[in-house]
């Protein structure tokens, strides 16, 4: 039961963080491209790479803290369900090239973000 609560608390904070950052990015960069979701996904990928190293390999925190930070916060912070919806909407509204660019860049840069987060975490510890 404690793990569920830990995930819920982390998830609430992650969802709120996603909402605020995504809104800020969209306000700064406009609505022609889903910048908010794109930026949050890339940051979330980098964050989960760093957390993976810090929590499981270096700090070896308890499973509760891993649940709060990885499953809870980062799981709610990243937005791949929203990503999928936005990609489909781009396709359905005749913007196939933009949809392809969005999906491709999210995938490639997301994997690169995880690698970067892991590299940074290993460098800093």
Q: Sort 48 into a burial class: Cβ within 10 Å, 0-12 / 13-18 / 19+.
A: buried
Q: What is the Cα–Cα distance from 102 to 115, expressed in whole angstroms?
A: 20
Q: Are 87 and 104 in contact (CB under 8 A)?
A: no
Q: Is 74 annotated as a binding residue?
A: no
Helix residue ranges, H only, 30-95 = 35-51, 63-66, 75-77, 80-92
Residue 56 in marked binding region: no
Q: Residues with Cβ < 8 Å from 73, sequence gap 6 or more?
A: 10, 11, 13, 14, 17
Other Cβ atoms closer than 10 A to 65: 16
Could you tell me which residues are annotated as the binding site for Na(+)?
75, 78
Could you tell me which residues are annotated as the binding site?
75, 78
């Amino acid at each position: 039961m404690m793990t569920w609560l830990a995930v819920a608390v982390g998830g609430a904070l992650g969802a709120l963080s996603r909402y605020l950052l995504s809104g800020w990015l969209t306000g700064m960069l406009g609505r022609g491209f889903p910048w908010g979701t794109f930026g949050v996904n890339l940051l979330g990928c980098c964050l989960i790479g760093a957390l993976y190293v810090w929590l499981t390999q270096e700090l070896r925190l308890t499973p509760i803290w891993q649940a709060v930070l990885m499953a809870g916060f980062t799981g709610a912070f990243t937005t791949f369900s929203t990503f999928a919806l936005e990609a489909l909407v781009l396709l359905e509204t005749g913007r196939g090239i933009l949809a392809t660019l969005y999906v491709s860049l999210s995938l490639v840069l997301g994997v690169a973000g995880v690698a970067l987060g892991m590299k940074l975490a290993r460098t800093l510890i």
